Amino acid sequence: MTVRRPSYDIGSTDFPLIYNTIGEQIRETAKKFPTNEAIVDKGQNRRITYAEFDEITDNLAKGFHKIGIRRGERVGLWAVNRWEWTATQFATAKIGAVVVNINPAYRTHELKYALNQSETTSIVLMNAFKSSKYKEMLLEIAPEIHSSQPGQLKSAELPRMKNVIIIDDDGVETPAGTFSFRGLIELGKEMPNEELNAIMTELDPDDDINIQYTSGTTGFPKGVTLSHMNILNNGYHVARVMNFSDKDRLCIPVPFYHCFGMVMSNLACSVYGATMVIPGPVFTPTDVLKAVSEEKCTALHGVPTMFIAELNTPDLENYDLKSLRTGIMAGAPCPIETMKEVIEKMNMSEVVIAYGQTESSPVTTMTRIEDTIEKRVSTVGRVMPRQELKIIDPVSGLTVERGAQGEICFRGYNVMSRYYNNPDATASTIDRTHWLHSGDLGTMDEEGYVKITGRIKEMVIRGGENLYPREIEEFLHTNPRVMDVYVVGVPDEKYGEELMAWILLKDNEKAEEADMREFCKGKIAHFKVPKYWKFVTSRDEFPMTVTGKIQKFKMREAAIKELGLEAAANIVTA
């Protein structure tokens, strides 16, 4: 009789969870490593030690308190990567306010939605960056700011909003009804430290501390609500897996507004006394390579498209990357060939892959630095410490056997409390036994390593055959002409759905549809060969979120319009 082995695993319990608030933790780190650099902001030429950072965030926290921000109130944060973003992250935590991450790519409609849906009462924002006029957009929604006293905003469109705080760069004029960021730091110095200490002792690690809006790869964003316990421990365990210490220096080109930047980078560094190196306000490959070289970074994070851009920088060999040891590639499916090139060409011998989602704080599985290259390039690793993971049949809900495909589910300290003000969405994601249903398809092998095979909603059903775009993307990535590729399903009157591939070729490479079909011939089943092929000339033509996640629903919408498939899209099926 064969013994059934279910696809279930539980992470190591060798290390305890941190039962601290984020504010308490940064104070502990500052005491241990006062002279270590906490932040190096290359764009602003600013260096801040942990002792200085603790003092700055104390004063900013007291400034927030003096203008009336209290425990549990929501504070919007709308800016690109800069040291003030991180200072706000930790200052709000010190008084128990909930920071609401606002996507820097948002415009007025999206901003208004996020602020009202989260019931935000205060917002910290920068004046502008390139074509994004943040201050002007907020004034467009709430023109009453001009005629209000600071802290007394009464806006028709933002009824809960009271405080507007402008990050005041040199030469930036702040409207009459707003506070300046620098001014709040100075204002905070008037409040005795003992009062802040008293506030901090009343806070609980299980308090809500952050709302992050999902990236919108499938539709309108939902506000994921996370606690100190959720995100502080996730950052702690991510850094532990990477063998971080106070000697590490992490280059962070991923956006702070996303959990990759805020948790896997900022919080991960803050627990160990490592340095957060900000290469620039937004990602450019040359800024990243220059920062790694000049600051002797030991680690580098990024989504696959970032690493691809860095690898394709013409003078890559001119940058000194010998200091690099590790880093995380995550946020989107990681092409195997790209992973191998990062190891070989960027000296990242201990690079790892992480998998999870915002709802799980975010990381649930990681490869380990001691894993073989084969495991690191072909799986997303094993379950993280103090977490559980299982793979279930999406229809029956039963746990499948090892090696069988099913939906990945998580449980543990890392699971969000809820989607803010959205009980129906919460109930459809977290079941009665507290398992978070990811919507991702995957398998677990005998050693507990997990592979992602697709999304339940992305699965394409062609004439009764279940097709998984991820599998086909991985195959097409083996074509030496291909730099990047994404596969989506499009409607078809005969088969229900057909496949379409969007392809970006490497520089100086040429290929046509016939070439790609010939490449597929005899290597994959005929029904897995895309019917439609679209060649793009730059990565900007891929619909993406600001964090580099591909928005396949937008690809599908564009394809239906370009290919004239509206009739097939309107066919009603059972």
* Residue that has been written with the tokens 């099926």 in this structure: 573
Query: How many angstroms separate the CA atoms of 70 and 89, rounded?
Result: 15
Tokens of 411: 């449980």
Closest CA to 354 of 272, 268, 270: 268
Parallel, antiparallel, or unpaired for β 275-278 and 46-49?
Answer: unpaired
Q: Does residue 220 have a pLDDT over 70?
A: no
Residue 106: helix, strand or coil by DSSP?
A: coil
Cβ atoms within 10 Å, residue 284: 16
Lowest-confidence pick of 9-23, 31-45, 159-173, 406-420: 159-173
Tokens of 189: 């110095």
HSE-CB of 512 using CA atoms within 13 angstroms: 1
Is 269:29 a contact under the CB 8 Å cutoff? no
Tokens of 310: 């860095």
One-character DSSP codes across 296-320? T-SEE-B-HHHHHHHHT-TTGGGS-
Query: How many angstroms separate the CA atoms of 532 and 147, rounded?
Result: 56
**217: confidence class by pLDDT, cuts 50, 70, 90:** very low
What local confidence, expressed as pLDDT, does residue 274 receive?
99
Closest CA to 204 of 24, 56, 361, 77: 24
**571: confidence class by pLDDT, cuts 50, 70, 90:** very low
pTM for this predicted structure: 0.85
Give how far Cα 57 sits from Cα of 149, 398, 472, 541, Å. 25, 48, 48, 40
Q: Which residues contact 31 (CB under 8 A, 6 or more apart)?
A: none
HSE-CB of 99 using CA atoms within 13 angstroms: 30
Residue 140: helix, strand or coil by DSSP?
A: helix
Alpha carbon dihedral 121, 124, 126, 131, in 10-degree steps, equals -40
One-character DSSP codes across 237-302? HHHHHTT--TT-EEE--S-TTSHHHIIIIIIHHHHHT-EEEE--SS--HHHHHHHHHHHT-SEE-B
Query: How many angstroms separate the CA atoms of 161 and 154, rounded?
Result: 7
Specify the higher pLDDT residue, 63 or 460.
Answer: 63
Q: What is the mean pLDDT of residues 62-76?
A: 99
Query: pLDDT tens-digit profile of 76-101?
Result: 999 999 999 999 999 999 999 999 99
Q: Which residues contact 62 (CB under 8 A, 6 or more apart)?
A: 187, 188, 189, 190, 191, 195, 196
- What sign does the dihedral 268-341-292-537 (CA atoms) show? negative
- Phi-psi group of 454: left, alpha or beta (phi > 0 → left; psi -120 to 50 → alpha; rest → beta): left
Helices (H), ranges, 81-169: 83-95, 108-117, 134-141
Q: What is the mean pLDDT of residues 366-384?
A: 94
Mean pLDDT of the chain: 93
Query: How many angstroms separate the CA atoms of 239 and 534, rounded?
Result: 40
Q: Which residues contact 454 (CB under 8 A, 6 or more apart)?
A: 440, 441, 468, 469, 470, 471
Lowest-confidence pick of 51-55, 132-136, 359-363, 489-493: 489-493
Closest CA to 185 of 51, 279, 88, 327: 88
Lowest-confidence pick of 209-218, 333-342, 519-528, 552-561: 209-218
Percent of the chain with pLDDT over 90: 79
Walk me through the domains of the chain, giving residue ranges and CATH numbers: 50-213 (3.40.50.980), 460-569 (3.30.300.30)
Highest-scoring range by mean pLDDT, 19-33, 159-173, 515-529:
19-33
Q: Does residue 573 have a pLDDT over 50?
A: no
- What sign does the dihedral 482-485-489-492 (CA atoms) show? negative
What local confidence, expressed as pLDDT, does residue 182 receive?
96
Q: Does residue 403 have a pLDDT over 60?
A: yes
Query: How many angstroms separate the CA atoms of 381 and 450, rounded?
Result: 6
Which neighbouring-strand residues pair with 544?
550
Query: How many angstroms separate the CA atoms of 382 and 444, rounded?
Result: 9
Cβ atoms within 10 Å, residue 300: 33
Q: Is 481 exposed, middle or buried (0-12, 13-18, 19+ CB in 10 A)?
A: middle
| Run of H or E residues at 469 | helix 469-476
Is 346:309 a contact under the CB 8 Å cutoff? no
Query: How many angstroms separate the CA atoms of 298 and 274, rounded?
Result: 10
Is 76:118 a contact under the CB 8 Å cutoff? yes
Query: How many angstroms separate the CA atoms of 393 and 441, rounded?
Result: 10
